[in-house]
Chain A
Amino acid sequence: MNQPNHPPPAERWELRTPRHPVNRRAVYWWMLQALVFNGGIAAAALTVRLIWPSTAGWSTPALVLALLVLLVALFVEPFWRYRVHRWETSEHAVYARSGWLVREWRAAPLSRAQTIDAIQGPLEQLLGLATLRVTTASSGGAINIVGLDHATAQRTATELTRIAELTEGDAT
C-alpha cells in the first residue's frame, strides 16, 4: 500500500536547470561571508580558550569544531554553491535554484510579484554584486537570486518591473 505508483516512464519529467549561472565573484562573496560569520565564531572560541585555560575541557572541542566548520564554509561551500545557484526569468515568471546541502528550486509568476528590486549589502557592494529580490504577497514566497553582477541585477529588476506592471491581478 505504501508503494508509490510510478507514472509510465514515457511521462517522466524533471525540473530544468535554470539558464544562467550567477557571477563568478559570488564565490568570493560566500567566502567573505564565511570569514565574517564562521570566522567570528572561531575567533570567539579561540579567545575563550586562550584567556581562560581552565575551560579547555569544552573550549578545545568547540574550537576544533568551529575551525572545521570554517574550513568547510571557506573552501567547500562557496564552490558547491556556485555549481548549484542558477536562475532565469521569462516573460511570465522567475525561476531559481539555490542551496548546497539542501537544494531548492523556486518559481513564482510575475503576476504574483509585489516588489522586484536589486539590493546590495556591504560585502556585495565591495564586490560589485547585487541580489535580485522578487517578493510576493506570501511572506515566505520571496525569491532571492544572490551573487548577480550589479548591472545585470539592476537591468533585470527594471525589466521585470515593467513586465509585472503590465500583468493583471492584485497579486494575492
Chain B
Amino acid sequence: MATTPEAAKTSFPPFDQSTFEPQLVWLAIVFGILYLLMSRVALPRIEAIFDARRVARQADISEAARLRSETESAIASFERALADAHARAEDISNKTRDRLNVEITKKRSVFDAELTANRDTEERTIAERKDKAMANVGEIASEVTLAIVRQLSGVTPVTSEAAAVVGRVLKN
C-alpha cells in the first residue's frame, strides 16, 4: 500500500478529508453529464418509444374494431340472404304443393267421373246380360216343359201356351 500517503492510511479512508475535494469535483462532472444525457437524450427517447407504441396500439385497436364491424355486417348480410333464401324456398314449396294439390284434385275428379261412367256402363251391361240370360231361361224352361208334357202325355202342346205358363210360374 505504498500508493497512499501515511496520513490517509492511518485514518479511516471514507473520512479522509483530503479525498473530499477531488471526489466532489468528479461527482459534479460525472453526475452533471449523466443528468444531461438522461434528461436530454435517454428519457425523451424512451418517452417517444412509449408514445409510438401507444399510437401503434391505438391504430391496431381501431383497425381491429373496423374489421370486426365489417365482419359483423358481413355476417348480418349473410344471415339476411339466408333468411331470404329460406323464405323463397318455403314460398316455392308452398306454391308447388298448392299447384300439385289442385292438379291432383282435378285428376281425381276426372278419374272419379270416368270411374262412375265405367261402372254405370258395366252395370248396364250386366243388367242387359242378366235380362237376356233370364229370357233364355224362360225359353229353355218352356222347351223343357214341352218335352216333359210330350213324354208324359204324348200330346204336343202349343208352344205359346207353354211359354205363357212358364212365364207365369217364373214370375211367382
**Do A and B actually bind?**
no
Interface residues of A (CB under 8 A from B): none
Interface residues of B (CB under 8 A from A): none
